[in-house]
Amino acid sequence: MLIEILDDEPAFVPDVYFTQGYGQLDALDRERSWITIADSSGSWQMPIILTDIGHGLRDATSPYGYNGIHVSTSLTDAAATAAWDSAREL
């Protein structure tokens, strides 16, 4: 499973908090940027709001009203762990 920063929404979006529209609006309101780290099918995904905090560093938080990662019940524990490990390296 390839985990990457997606330019578009994954094929499956489990809730409004994972949509680009919600994330971009939340980021705009707080002068930050929005990204989605996911696999292309949407089986594993994590919406993130990024804030530049200076010196080339960024803070990553969840969109307002949501915290967590979507992991499809179709993924094995090993696949979910591999996805998390891959996301941490981005």
Q: Are 82 and 1 in contact (CB under 8 A)?
A: yes
* pLDDT reported for residue 78: 95
Residue-range domain boundaries for the chain: 4-88
Residue 46 tokens read as 């994590």
Residue whose pair of structure tokens reads 């094929």 in the numeric block: 11
Please give the chain's pLDDT, 90 residues, in tens.
789 998 888 889 898 888 888 888 878 866 788 889 999 889 999 998 889 888 989 898 888 777 689 999 999 999 999 999 999 888
* pLDDT reported for residue 29: 65
* pLDDT reported for residue 30: 66
* pLDDT reported for residue 37: 93
